[in-house]
């Protein structure tokens, strides 16, 4: 785990709990949505959280926002 990702741990937890939107996380931390989703999947503690993140990823990329 890189130190940069370790420093973002609490923010990733907020994304996992739904308190912080992925767009805002990416904008404030200067990471791509794809990277943020991967980090969230790695940090997920339960299968429910993983499924939630996978669903968010699908919705996000189906909108086409990730292509910009």
* 10 vs 38, more confident: 38
Q: What is the pLDDT of residues 41-66, one digit of tens each?
A: 999 999 999 999 999 899 888 887 65
Dist. CA 68–CA 65, nearest whole Å: 6
Confidence (pTM): 0.77
Predicted confidence at residue 11, as pLDDT, reads 86
Predicted confidence at residue 65, as pLDDT, reads 62
- Which residue is associated with the tokens 């940069």? 4
pLDDT at 1 over 90: no
Dist. CA 47–CA 32, nearest whole Å: 24
Dist. CA 46–CA 27, nearest whole Å: 26
């Amino acid at each position: 785990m890189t130190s940069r990702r370790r420093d973002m741990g609490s923010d990733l937890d907020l994304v996992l709990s739904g308190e912080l939107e992925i767009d805002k996380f990416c904008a404030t931390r200067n990471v791509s949505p794809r990277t943020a989703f991967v980090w969230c999947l790695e940090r997920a503690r339960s299968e429910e959280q993983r499924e939630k993140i996978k669903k968010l990823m699908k919705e996000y990329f189906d909108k086409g926002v990730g292509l910009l």
